[in-house]
Amino acid sequence: MLGFNKPYLTGRELDYIRDAVEREKLSGNGFYTQQCQQFFTSRYGFKKTLLTQSCTDALEMAALLLDVGPEDEIILPSFTFVSTANAFALRGAKLIFADSEKETPNLDMNHVRQLITDKTKAVVAVHYAGVACDMDALMDLADKYRFFVVEDAAQAIDSYYKGKPLGSIGHLACFSFHETKNIISGEGGMLIINDEKFSQRAEVLWEKGTNRSAFFRGEVDKYNWIDIGSSFLPSEMTAAFLWAQLQEVDAIQKKRLTVWNHYFEGLQFQVKEGHFSLPIIPDYSTNNAHMFYLVSRSESERNAIMNHLKKQEIQAIFHYLPLHSSPYFHSKYSGRELFSAVRFSECILRLPFYTELSEEEIDRVIKSIHQFYNS
């Protein structure tokens, strides 16, 4: 079976984990945590970064930092992973689902504009497949209507909007290092704080509501419970694994882009035939080769290709089921139709995609798709 995902190892993960163990500091915020956090501030110019145990954690921290409560409305795409929504649902916020653009699964900013009210506390921009949302349009709205922007950049490491790294534009941003992402640590994530007014409190929430970080820097003489918080830090073993990955980010990205381009070129024939379309990367965005998908003409055709590939021992998958019509949410939903979100949900097919996918394996997938349309 040609699997859908396969974690890539640089070869140095175990060395760094061993070193972390030998340093006899196994809990969080030690040497490797600092190394990773500094990597991001220096390479991408993020103001402040805090490693977390997942992107889900980072999103939950964002909701806490923004003091989101039952009076607040949060605008987010319906076509996204459940954590984008859960972080704010946990705080009792009212979720306002927006549609995707026609061309990409990213937020349709015209629709977002229509959904803004004086209760809008934040808009969560998910950079689907690492492709940037139209951030200028969103930040203009944020300035005008005074709401916060959280980037769910789970899939968007090392991708750029008009030259700015994704994760550096919103007030807060979240990365994932889950094993299905470009850069991994098993489970793992990071909160990025670009608006400095959140920096201090972010550290407190991160350290279970205490000022322990300030204490260790010698800024206070004892540490105490000063706010709410939770246990969001990953252990040093997780950070050590991540550090091995981060050192190879350029090599990993180069390999992934080669895989992506090979698929893109190999499937052009089918695109010209009008059988399906391929991802559209707007001029303002780079491509970080997070995933490769096609958009078929209908749900039944998508499922037929998927089953054909499965018979040939190729694992292709689809996602996401739109959140506005999910079992948990549909009874709370306003009823407004979200055509693009539904279309992407029904028609996207994700092909096997990982850093070490070989040219032969990609060709096997492409051939299999050609075969589907020839029979």
Ligand X SMILES: *Cc1c(COP(=O)(O)O)cnc(C)c1O
Binding site for ligand X (CB under 6 A): 54-56, 80-81, 83-84, 126, 152, 154-155, 176, 178, 189
Q: Which one, 5 or 200, has the nearer CB to ligand X?
A: 5
Nearest partner of 85 among 112, 117, 111, 62, judged by Cα: 62
**Cα–Cα distance between 207 and 188 in angstroms, integer?**
16
Rg (CA), the chain: 21
The CB-of-221 to ligand X minimum distance in angstroms stands at 36
Burial letters for 132-167: b for 16+ Cβ neighbours within 10 Å, e otherwise? bbbbebbbebbeeeebbbbbbbbbbbbbbbeeebbb
Q: Distances from the Cα of 123 to the Cαs of 68, 115, 138, 193, 209, in angstroms?
A: 12, 10, 8, 16, 26
Supply the minimum distance, in Å, between the C-beta of residue 144 and ligand X.
26
User: Which one, 161 or 372, has the nearer CB to ligand X?
Assistant: 161
**C-beta of 191 vs 267, nearer to ligand X:** 191
Q: Report strand pairing: 189-193 vs 48-52.
A: antiparallel
Place of tokens 């491509």: 287
For 241-284, where are the E strands, in sequence order?
276-277
In the complex, least distance from residue 365 CB atom to ligand X, rounded to whole angstroms:
22
Nearer to ligand X, 126 or 309 (CB): 126
Element (H, E) at 344: helix 339-347
Q: How far is the CB of 57 from ligand X (least distance, A)?
A: 7
CA dist 375 and 368 (Å) reads 11
Least separation in angstroms between CB 174 and ligand X: 7
Of the pair 126, 193, the CB lying nearest ligand X is at: 126
Nearer to ligand X, 270 or 287 (CB): 287
| CB of 178 or CB of 201, closer to ligand X | 178
Answer yes or no: are the C-beta atoms of 182 and 7 closer than 8 Å.
Answer: no
Closest separation in Å from C-beta 28 to ligand X: 16
Query: Of 178 and 343, which has the nearer Cβ to ligand X?
Result: 178
Residues 124, 329, 331: CA angle, nearest 5 degrees: 135
The nearest distance, CB 179 to ligand X, in angstroms, is 9
Q: Starting from the edge strand earliest in sequence, which strands make up the sheet with 189-193, in order?
A: 48-52, 189-193, 172-176, 148-152, 120-126, 73-77, 94-98
Chain Cα centroid distance, residue 83:
10
Least distance from C-beta 81 to ligand X, angstroms?
4
